[in-house]
């Protein structure tokens, strides 16, 4: 497909990298000459300097033949206007990033009236992800498939966890819990395990199960399952605002520590049920005074990665809280793995993955891709396919299919009934099928088979 990306900040650059790796033709527009120069050297894409709201600039970028335009500049209004012009100038689908909370109640109206395919809010998405994890403190990450019927839960094996030194084959046979292990990350290696695989302390496991089964599984392996009752958020930005809204609605006592006095006044008016503290969120003395040692949930959400990492390490040292750390730059991953911070959240990756998933759905060859998640730092993909017709994969027991290596069929949603498949099960028309694989760029359910 021909894709135009307007705005080459963190999200725009990440999109260009991910969509470019899937062999789409990418054109980038940004008004910053230094950024454009850097991207021209590092990306296989057409790069233009200029104002993406300009009709002339969009014409130069090839708007008349574009299939998709994505506007992710720093201005919500520019993004919306750019999409409107693109709709008039061409025949492409359009996506706008809109982050200001004042537009929250107008998203459906703006999308429908302006004819946009999608309006996306990274901070709101990030807040929603954190809120889900706070409901299951033992989890590192939670992804939802089949409209919530099944979840993929990521967690780390600890020394006192039953799974340390435990064979995979015993989970169903001895624990009697209906879960399916999708993949295991051990150090830098991602493993799609078989029955004789033995878990070790430090492994990060991704498994699929119904939400109610997840609680049973965590109880049996000795992990905490109750949701948090108190939360401390460091930084008073948009993510903290959205997250506090969610937490307060759930009856969770929420405290925000923010350094800017004017922002504190604003938050006090917006969130009257929250406790707003004006102070330095990296001040150890202040954090202890405000009860860091006793909170159930802790989220470091400032605009500086370094501050978020340091304050999370402090929280890990002096509290038993579930800790979530916001990271803006992806190149910290190897260090974060060694520090074993509970959970990291990357707003730009959440945004990019959502848009990439939509881009795949536009491709005629991939119209049965319902969901796509990049998991374990992009080392693997979890895809949900809808089987809309008979093919080489239907009607044959899974054990008889010649599946590609490094791939597992994790679950089947058949008319609302969840199956965690064995070799004797077969795929049928109408099934929603979740596959985890290290093979990138799969577009159709038949791609699970060897060539």
Predicted pLDDT at 234: 98
What's the per-residue H, E or C state across the chain?
Answer: CEEEEECCCHHHHHHHHHHHHCCCEEEEEECCHHHHHHHHHHCCCEEEECCCCCHHHHHHHCHHHCCEEEECCCCHHHHHHHHHHHHHHCCCEEEEECCCHHHHHHHHHHHHHHCCCEEECHHHHHHHHHHHHHHCCCCCEEEEEHHHCEEEEEEECCCCCCCCCCECCHHHHCCCCCCEEEEEEECCEEECCCCCCECCCCCEEEEEECHHHHHHHHHHHCCCCCCCCEEEEECCCHHHHHHHHHHHHCCCEEEEEECCHHHHHHHHHHCCCCEEEECCCCCHHHHHHCCHHHCCEEEECCCCHHHHHHHHHHHHHHCCCEEEEECCCHHHHHHHHHHCCCEEECHHHHHHHHHHHHHHHHCHHHCCEEEEEEECCCCEEEEEEECCCCCCCECCEHHHCCECCCEEEEEEEECCEEECCCCCCEECCCCEEEEEECCCCCCCHHHHECC
Predicted pLDDT at 323: 94
Which of 21-35, 54-68, 430-444 shows the highest mean pLDDT? 54-68
Predicted pLDDT at 312: 94
Predicted pLDDT at 331: 60
Q: Looking at residue 429, which CATH number applies to its domain?
A: 3.30.70.1450
CB 111 within 8 A of CB 120: no
* Residue-wise pLDDT tens digits, 145-168: 877 788 899 999 988 889 999 999
C-alpha to C-alpha distance for 236 and 299, rounded to whole angstroms: 11
C-alpha to C-alpha distance for 131 and 449, rounded to whole angstroms: 37
Q: Between 428 and 210, where is the model more confident?
A: 428
| Average pLDDT of every residue of the chain | 89
C-alpha to C-alpha distance for 345 and 197, rounded to whole angstroms: 29
Indicate if 215 and 301 belong to the same structural domain: no
Indicate if 217 and 160 belong to the same structural domain: yes
* Residue-wise pLDDT tens digits, 312-324: 999 999 999 999 9
Q: Which of the listed residues 120, 150, 178 is the one where a domain comes to its end?
A: 120
Indicate if 241 and 175 belong to the same structural domain: no
- The closest alpha carbon to 357, from 376, 384, 380, 327, belongs to 384
Residue 273 has pLDDT above 90, yes or no: yes
CB 324 within 8 A of CB 298: yes
Q: Looking at residue 303, which CATH number applies to its domain?
A: 3.40.50.720
Range of the domain at 7: 2-120
Indicate if 86 and 41 belong to the same structural domain: yes
pLDDT tier for residue 336 given thresholds of 50, 70 and 90: low
Taking only Cα atoms into account, the Rg of the chain, rounded to an integer number of angstroms, comes to 23
Supply φ then ψ for residue 262, to 5 degrees: -65, -40
* Residue-wise pLDDT tens digits, 82-105: 999 999 888 899 999 999 988 988
Dihedral sign computed on CA atoms, order 316, 321, 322, 326? negative
Interval 262-290 mean pLDDT = 96
pLDDT tier for residue 26 given thresholds of 50, 70 and 90: very high
Indicate if 246 and 275 belong to the same structural domain: yes
- For the chain, the straight-line distance linking the first and the last C-alpha, in angstroms and rounded, comes to 24
C-alpha to C-alpha distance for 153 and 181, rounded to whole angstroms: 10
Q: Which of the listed residues 81, 99, 120 is the one where a domain comes to its end?
A: 120
What is the β-pairing status of strands 118-120 and 93-97? parallel
Interval 47-72 mean pLDDT = 94
Q: Between 70 and 377, where is the model more confident?
A: 70
C-alpha to C-alpha distance for 27 and 415, rounded to whole angstroms: 41
Indicate if 249 and 315 belong to the same structural domain: yes
Predicted pLDDT at 393: 94
Indicate if 237 and 339 belong to the same structural domain: yes
Indicate if 113 and 23 belong to the same structural domain: yes
Indicate if 150 and 252 belong to the same structural domain: no
Residue 361 has pLDDT above 90, yes or no: no
pLDDT tier for residue 23 given thresholds of 50, 70 and 90: confident
Its pTM stands at 0.84
Per the structure block, which two tokens stand in for 285?
Answer: 């003395």
Interval 165-173 mean pLDDT = 89
CB 393 within 8 A of CB 400: no
How many degrees, rounded to 5, is the angle at CA 130 between CA 212 and CA 80?
Answer: 120
CB 72 within 8 A of CB 79: yes
Indicate if 383 and 361 belong to the same structural domain: yes
Predicted pLDDT at 304: 92
Supply φ then ψ for residue 101, to 5 degrees: -60, -20
CB 442 within 8 A of CB 381: yes
DSSP bridge pairs for 394? 427
Q: Which residues contact 272 (CB under 8 A, 6 or more apart)?
A: none
- State how many domains the chain has: 4
Indicate if 322 and 257 belong to the same structural domain: yes
Indicate if 212 and 137 belong to the same structural domain: yes
Predicted pLDDT at 95: 96
Per the structure block, which two tokens stand in for 125?
Answer: 């998405």
pLDDT tier for residue 27 given thresholds of 50, 70 and 90: very high
How many degrees, rounded to 5, is the angle at CA 356 between CA 353 and CA 360?
Answer: 140
Left, alpha or beta for 291 (phi > 0: left; psi -120 to 50: alpha)?
Answer: left
Q: Which of the listed residues 296, 317, 345 is the one where a domain comes to its end?
A: 345
From the CB of residue 224, how many other CB atoms can be counted at a distance below 10 Å? Answer: 14
CB 282 within 8 A of CB 262: no
pLDDT tier for residue 246 given thresholds of 50, 70 and 90: very high
To the nearest 10°, report the CA torsion of 125, 130, 132, 136.
160
């Amino acid at each position: 497909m021909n894709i135009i990306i307007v705005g080459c900040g963190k999200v725009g650059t990440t999109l260009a990298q991910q969509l470019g790796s899937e062999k789409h033709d990418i054109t980038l527009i940004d008004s910053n000459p230094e950024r454009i120069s850097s991207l021209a050297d590092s990306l296989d894409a057409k790069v233009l300097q200029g104002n993406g709201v300009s009709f002339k600039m969009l014409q130069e970028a090839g708007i008349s033949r574009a299939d998709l335009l994505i506007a992710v500049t720093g201005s919500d209004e520019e993004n919306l206007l750019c999409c409107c012009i693109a709709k008039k100038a061409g025949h492409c689908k359009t996506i706008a990033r809109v982050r200001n909370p004042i537009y929250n109640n107008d998203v459906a109206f703006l999308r429908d009236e302006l004819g946009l395919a999608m309006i996306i809010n990274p901070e709101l998405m990030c807040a929603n992800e954190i809120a889900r994890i706070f409901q299951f403190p033992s989890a590192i990450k939670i992804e939802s498939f089949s409209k919530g019927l099944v979840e993929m839960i990521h967690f780390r094996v600890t020394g006192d966890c039953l799974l340390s030194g435990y064979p995979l084959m015993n989970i169903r046979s001895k624990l009697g819990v209906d879960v399916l292990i999708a993949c295991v990350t051990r150090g830098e290696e991602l493993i799609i395990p078989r029955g004789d695989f033995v878990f070790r302390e430090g492994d990060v496991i991704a498994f699929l199960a119904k939400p109610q089964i997840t609680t049973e599984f965590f109880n049996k392996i000795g992990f905490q399952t109750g949701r948090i009752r108190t939360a401390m958020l460091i930084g008073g930005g948009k993510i903290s605002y959205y997250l506090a809204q969610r937490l307060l609605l759930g009856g969770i006592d929420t405290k925000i520590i923010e350094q800017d006095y004017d922002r504190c006044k604003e938050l006090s008016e917006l969130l009257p049920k929250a406790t707003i503290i004006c102070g330095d969120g990296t001040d150890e003395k202040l954090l202890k005074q405000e009860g860091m040692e006793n909170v159930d949930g802790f989220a470091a959400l400032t605009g500086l990665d370094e501050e978020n990492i340091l304050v999370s390490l402090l929280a890990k040292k002096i509290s038993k809280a579930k800790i979530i750390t916001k990271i803006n730059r992806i190149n910290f991953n190897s260090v974060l793995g060694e520090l074993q911070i509970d959970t990291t959240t990357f707003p730009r990756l959440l945004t990019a993955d959502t848009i990439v998933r939509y881009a795949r759905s536009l491709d005629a060859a991939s119209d049965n891709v319902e969901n796509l998640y990049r998991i374990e730092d992009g080392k693997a993909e979890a895809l949900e396919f809808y089987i809309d017709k008979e093919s080489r994969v239907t009607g044959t027991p899974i054990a008889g299919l010649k599946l590609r290596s490094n791939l597992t069929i994790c679950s089947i949603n058949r008319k609302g009934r969840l199956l965690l498949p064995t070799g004797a099960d077969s795929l049928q028309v109408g099934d929603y099928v979740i596959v985890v694989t290290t093979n990138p760029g799969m577009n159709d359910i038949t791609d699970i088979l060897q060539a």
